[in-house]
């Protein structure tokens, strides 16, 4: 009986490791599509009804909206940029739902040492077996405001920064 329990644990660990790798692969593909300025490939990584909130607060609804906006952005404002991405953590909630927290930034030239945006991706495992992004939130960090807040109210300092 013990060997069955161990086999179950190994199978569960393998499944989680495979899901982590699959979710990380989506984010790697996202960076690659950005680097190629391929709005279609970028958008294909999102669900049909995905939501996408930019650091300036723009709200996009649906894959087509995300693709069309990125066609324009890659040809203009974001032309020649690259995407830096750093995963802080991946959490799974049941089967087929993952939340990824990370930092990111766009840049030209040398990759920034400190990434200025905090990001949350919600990914779902769709019926075709592919993980896709269902929701994305991008928030610009305000380090000076954080520092002032932490000085005035030390209890607000996140545990990871203590």
> Which neighbouring-strand residues pair with 161?
none
By C-alpha distance, which of 70, 140, 146, 74 is closest to 103? 140
Report domain extents, the chain: 2-161
Nearest 5°: the CA angle 44, 70, 118 is 85
Neighbours of 117 (CB within 10 A): 18
pLDDT score for 144 = 83
Quote the pLDDT of residue 4.
Answer: 55
Query: Alpha-carbon Rg of the chain, whole angstroms?
Result: 18
Residue 15, helix vs strand vs coil: helix
pLDDT of residue 14: 60
Classified as helix, coil or strand, 66 is: helix
Phi and psi of 156, rounded to 5°?
A: -90, -5
DSSP 143: H
Distance (Å, rounded) from C-alpha 85 to C-alpha 105? 7
pLDDT in tens, the chain (162 residues): 445 555 444 545 566 789 999 999 999 999 999 999 999 999 999 999 999 999 999 999 999 999 999 999 999 999 999 999 999 999 999 889 999 999 999 999 999 999 999 999 999 999 999 999 999 999 988 888 878 888 989 888 878 777
Q: Quickly name the fold that domain 2-161 has.
A: Nuclear Transport Factor 2; Chain: A, (3.10.450)
């Amino acid at each position: 009986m013990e060997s069955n329990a161990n086999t179950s644990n190994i199978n569960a660990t393998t499944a989680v490791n495979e899901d982590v790798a699959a979710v990380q692969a989506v984010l790697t593909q996202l960076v690659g599509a950005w680097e190629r300025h391929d709005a279609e490939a970028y958008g294909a990584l999102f669900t049909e009804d995905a939501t996408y909130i930019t650091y300036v607060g723009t709200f996009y609804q649906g894959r087509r909206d995300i693709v069309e906006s990125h066609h324009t952005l890659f040809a203009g404002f974001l032309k020649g940029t690259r995407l830096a991405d750093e995963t802080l953590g991946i959490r799974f909630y049941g089967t087929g739902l993952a939340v990824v927290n990370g930092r990111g930034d766009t840049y030209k030239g040398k990759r920034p040492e400190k990434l200025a945006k905090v990001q949350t991706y919600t990914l779902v495992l769709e019926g075709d077996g592919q993980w896709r992004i269902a929701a994305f939130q991008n928030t610009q960090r305000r380090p000076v405001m954080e520092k002032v807040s932490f000085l005035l109210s030390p209890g607000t300092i996140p545990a990871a920064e203590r």
